[in-house]
Structure 1
Amino acid sequence: MPEFVGTPSGEGRRFAVVASRFNETITQKLAEGAVDAFTRHGAAFDDVDVIWVPGAWELPAAVRHVLASGRYDAAVAIGAVVRGETPHFDIVAGEAARGVADAGAEYDVPVTLGLLTTDDMAQAEARAGGAHGNKGWDAAMAAMEMADLFAMLDSAAEAEGELAGGDEDAG
């Protein structure tokens, strides 16, 4: 039984970091963490594009546009939604996550979610380079692993198709 496991390798691949400007003191750190992860794992700095959008609500549309270009092996959506006094938090966070997931499924390109959903700014800061690490870095690592996994699966399917095609030609 074949097993496939991707590795976080950015070498020879292009990545998009789509980041929300809302709560920019947090999202800037998350975006920097993602870019750092990509470049430390072999991606050329010029092969990582950072695309800024106004807020988390706009992440799905921008991710969809980025994936439609066909330029990227994977994308990371970065944002920070901090709970307030109204249900706005639940709507924005949930719909942003759903929209980003839908975009990845529609274009069959890995998209990872570095969207923080926290109760307060202290929790967000802890996840943007603080005590809980940098979730932008984590999302980039997952994006590289998924891009590598997709490439392996595509190669295996291609090889399988070539073998099947070769058998038919021989007969």
Structure 2
Amino acid sequence: MAGTETHYILPRPEFDAPVKLLIVVAPYYKDIADDLIAGAKAEIEAAGATWDLVEVPGALEVPSAIGIADRLSNFDGYVALGCVIRGETTHYETVCNDSSRGLTLLGLQGLCIGNGILTVENREQAVVRADPAEQNKGGGAAAAALHLIALGRKWGNTRKPVGFGSGDTYKLADRGDGGTGA
């Protein structure tokens, strides 16, 4: 039974430079979303970081909003929040799988994302998971994003250019062959 288990929680990371996160929430179930947000805000502020908040229509739009924010803004990390409760159709599986897949793909590209999109069987499970005084999954998602940011800073730039771009240090004239490749 999950309620009787104990889990190890990593110590909160510390930062030498300011950290700014974007909380992206799908408030379809407003009361649950509000609890997730409260937990995330508290964790972010406890780490000395700042946050902005945007709302999107549903869980499927959360990865897209994070992708847009990453291209057009300057956040260090992202907290994805929302809730998907199983219904009578297969739409549940689509939303759960595709929102998770989208966030994973963004993470594999180097974005620091904490996934706090709840995928539950019923409202009661969602309420317990969202409540900051209970399982506090919003706070856990924020903590995950903060830990990924700390790792990225520890290891240097989390983004390395791919292909030929303005950031490339290798130029044809540097090869010593006059650019002929011979």
The offset of 1:80, in angstroms, is 0.2
What corresponds to 1:17 in structure 2?
A: 23
- The structure that is helix-richer by fraction is 1
2:141 is matched with which residue?
Answer: 139
Larger radius of gyration: 2
Gapped runs of 5+ residues in structure 1?
156-171
Number of aligned residue pairs: 147
* RMSD, matched Cα: 2.0
Q: Post-superposition, which runs of at least 4 consecutive aligned residues in structure 1 deviate over 3 A?
A: none
State the identity %.
31
- Where 2:155 maps in the other structure, the secondary structure is helix
Please say if 1:112 is aligned against 2:114. yes
Partner of 1:125: 127
The one-letter amino acid paired with 1:8 is: P
Whole-angstrom distance in 2 between the partners of 1:6 and 1:29:
22
The residue that corresponds to 2:41 in the other structure is 35
Match of 2:77 in 1: 74
Q: Quote the residue 1:165 is aligned against.
A: none
Give how far 1:105 is off: 2.4
CA contact (8 A) 2:132 2:138 kept: no
Q: Which has the higher contact order (CA 8 A, sep 6+)?
A: 1
Q: Which residue of 1 aligns with 2:67?
A: 64
Secondary structure of 2:100 counterpart: helix
TM-score by length of 1: 0.79
Hey, what's the Cα distance between the residues in 1 that align with 2:73 and 2:151? 18
- Any conservation in 2 of the 1:127–1:134 contact (CA below 8 Å)? yes
Gaps of 5+ in 2: 1-9, 158-182
The TM-score normalised by the length of structure 2 is 0.75
**C-alpha separation in 2, matches of 1:123 and 1:56:** 17
